[in-house]
Amino acid sequence: MKVTDVVIRMSKGSSKIKAFAVVAFDNDFTVNAFKVVDGPNGLFVGSPSQKGADGKFYNTIRMKRDSGISSEVTEKVLAKYNETVGASGNDTGAEGQEEDVPPEFDEPA
């Protein structure tokens, strides 16, 4: 399985979540709501998650860390994020591209 496309939507405000990403795999299926997070050791890509009844957040997908797909997702999402930030000139994203919650995305091209 290979990552074939990434779509970035910048997050509004000063949250640690800088952007949301939709990742297409083999041009066959997409996974919504990956997150680009500004953590204590720099940017990282968080898996889609959902808040449980207990108030904790739980990942809605799992990837084997040693399978290579996890590192490919991280690499391509961060590259697309950096490209998007570079194109806008700052880390707030291009006008009209900001979101404050993970949106329902159209399929990546």
pTM listed for this prediction: 0.76
How far apart CA 45 and CA 56 sit, in angstroms, is 19
What kind of architecture, by CATH, is found in domain 3-99?
2-Layer Sandwich (3.30)
Q: Per-domain residue ranges for the chain?
A: 3-99
- DSSP character string of 82-95: HHHHHHHTSTT-ST
What does the angle CA 90 – CA 94 – CA 98 come to, to the nearest 5 degrees? Answer: 105
Question: pLDDT tens across 2-37, in order?
Answer: 999 999 999 887 789 999 999 999 988 899 889 999
How far apart CA 94 and CA 14 sit, in angstroms, is 15
